[in-house]
Chains A and B, each alone.
Chain A
Amino acid sequence: MKRFMKLTGVLATSVLLAGNAFAADVKFAWYASTVHPYFDEVQTGVDKFSEDFGIEVTKRLGQDWTQDNQNENVTAMAAQGFTSFSIFPSDVAGAKGLYEELAEQGITIVDFGQPTQQPTPASFFVGTQLKRAAMVATEELIKSMGGKGNIVNVLEVPGEATRRRSEGVEEVVDSYPDVYIIQTVGNLSTIEDSVEKVENAIAANIGKIDGIIATGYTPTVAIAQLLTEYHQSGGKRIHFIGIDTDEVVMDAIREGHIDGTMAQNPFGHGYIPMVLLKHMADGYTPIKGTHNIDAGVLAVTKDNLDSYQDDIAAMTKTIVEELTTKYLEKK
């Protein structure tokens, strides 16, 4: 992280020295649905952007995950004169209505975390490519299982993101003739629900499960705890790959109860959109055909538990360096 801070400082200085300055009436804002550890990490990227570029960014969190709540709060911010927004859309379809209203007022928007459905007024989406991340995770799980066996697929609440993740898992499993999904557990929104349903799934397939894959944060935390208890009480080894780097999950990897997790790049989800917004305020425009910017994802296992953050930092540096060549142009 320190290495990345230094690198971004160098990058920021070079951008500033290039002599571009945006209009004084440009105001930057960042908005996320509600309190969540993921957004805390994203905010560190936003804060670093402010520090590196000397640009104030007003950050707001909503009160709940509903699109209605987001609409109320963001339109209020727009009324206060904010012109450049980095937003986590609460509902990928519902947010488009909000974005259209904002775009009519000349406001620039970049999605982070999850993309609004196309066509969208958002200039870019910065986040994890969900299907690709799920595919990488599934490959890791199957590798840990020795290339064969039975998997339980654990999903969060039904929705666009869950559907993409599930597609990624199924696509990879289909390519391995000796690997089977024996049960899919879904509709998991709370920790208690996740624990109960996964427990039930283990009971339903006792002795037959070789691996579990979870592509959502809450189920991952629940399963990390569940498998820690299960293995400690002598249960047969069940391999597991989850997502995100909650400390509970990292502890379970460290202690050997689970195989690993997929680290996203929440810092990048915060930093990169703000740099994009700054460049667009400087007069850059999106290159036609570009929209999604993959902030990167990395498998974290016992082997790279203490060093994965450096790799994530390097990914972010590369993306920021490429923004004005790969994604933006100035006419």
Chain B
Amino acid sequence: MQALNKHLKKALSGGDAGIILSALSLVVIFAVASDSFLTQYNIFNLTRTQSLYIFVALSQAVMLVTGNMNLSVGAIAGLTAVIFGYAIEVLGLPLPLALAAAMTVAMAAGWFNGFVMTKLGVNSFIVTLSTLFIFTGLVYGISEGYSYRGIPKDFVSLGRGNFLGLPYLFYLMVATLAAVWYMFKYTVFGRQLLATGSNQEAAELSGINTHRVIMGANLLSAFFAAMGGLLWVSRLGTAQPAIGQNWLIISFAVAIIGGTALNGGKLTAIGLFGGGLIMVLIKNGLILVQANVYFEQAFLGSIILLTILLNRWREVASKKGKSS
């Protein structure tokens, strides 16, 4: 029991506890403000959207943790969706092959980002800003703006089905976060990602091949972006070229609200879970309480900022308490 408590305490480090508490506070506030909040339909949709947000956030977080960023996450997602749709509807490929084709293209995109960053030494902001345009151009060049509709029903059921009232995507998200937690906690690669982000020079001096680590981060980022894109296709039932268009802000916002350090070296799975939850709660809550549609962005931004500030205040207060 003591070991369990110790693990729980460790798992819920100060920062994570603050994020989870913030999320729970929002749950209470909206549950009181609206009697529609705790309905089965709303919980299902909340958790499903949260799950999708987590993949978006992961695609950015694995780059942030190394001290880099990826502005092309949405474009990679859109490209994956379009390649998948094209493979299914135009080429008539079976589902597994279409998925493989889509993932291959996504990983190639990630590899390209990583190659230019590591071998050519270009800053991640500049590389991924350029590839954002390149990949977006490919999306519209291939699809010409049209969406692909012949998505197999089995695949669509992944994005729409449920088990015990919670969406399949929720379980997939939890499993993915568990894998991410394990990777950062117990694998060499995970620790190397954190070390590279904390201090790249020191990591190199300690023998870590940081170029390989950053390449790995790019591949992981592309993987999560592609997963997110495909899961959105599954959710929508069509492969839309517009998938990923609004991912940039969400990918940063959820990752940072979830405690991922902007300058690298820190990422927690529980924090990301909480960050995704906070984001969907705020957006859901604003609709439930019928916030003025024209001021909605202002409300959204203000609540996000307030959540981050409260969490920051709590962290500082907690540190002061420990030092005294």
Contact = CB atoms under 8 A, between A and B. Distances in A.
A34 B133 CA distance: 13
A64 to B, nearest CB: 10
A203 B39 contact: yes
B245 interface: yes
Interface of B: 34, 36, 39, 41-42, 45, 49, 52, 140, 144-147, 149, 160, 232, 235-238, 240, 242-243, 245-246, 280, 283-284, 287-288, 290, 293-294, 296-297
A200 B284 contact: yes
Most B-side CB within 10 Å, residue of A192, A199, A201: A192
Contacts of A225: 236-238
A184 interface: yes
A150 to B, nearest CB: 13
A158 B293 CA distance: 9
Contacts of A221: 147, 240
A222 B232 CA distance: 12
Nearest to B241: A35
Contacts of A183: 287, 290
A35 B144 contact: yes
Most B-side CB within 10 Å, residue of A201, A222, A225: A225
Contacts of A248: 147, 149, 238
Interface string A289-309: 000000000000000000000
Interface of A: 34-37, 39-40, 155, 158, 183-187, 189-193, 195-197, 199-206, 218, 221-222, 225, 228-229, 233, 235, 246-248, 251
A37 B49 contact: no
A37 B145 contact: yes
Tell me the dominant secondary structure on chain A's binding face.
Answer: helix
A189 B145 CA distance: 15
A155 B292 CA distance: 13
Given A40-B144, A204-B36, A246-B147, A197 B283 contact: yes
Contacts of B287: 183, 185, 197, 200-201, 203-204
Given A36-B145, A247-B149, A251-B149, A204 B246 contact: no
A191 B240 contact: yes
B140 A195 contact: no
B145 A40 contact: yes
A190 B296 contact: no
Q: Which 10 A/B pairs are nearest by Cβ-Cβ distance?
A: A186-B293, A200-B287, A203-B42, A35-B140, A190-B246, A204-B288, A37-B145, A190-B245, A199-B45, A35-B145
Contacts of B144: 35, 37, 40
B88 to A, nearest CB: 15
B296 A187 contact: yes
Contact of B237 (A200, A229, A235, A246): A229
Nearest to B238: A248
Contact of B243 (A158, A192, A200): A192
B265 to A, nearest CB: 30
10 contacts: A37-B144, A184-B293, A185-B287, A192-B243, A195-B236, A197-B283, A200-B287, A203-B287, A204-B36, A247-B149
A233 B287 CA distance: 23
A189 B41 contact: no
Contacts of B34: 204
A193 B145 contact: no
A235 B41 CA distance: 10
A197 B240 CA distance: 18
B41 A202 contact: yes
B49 A203 contact: no
B293 A155 contact: yes
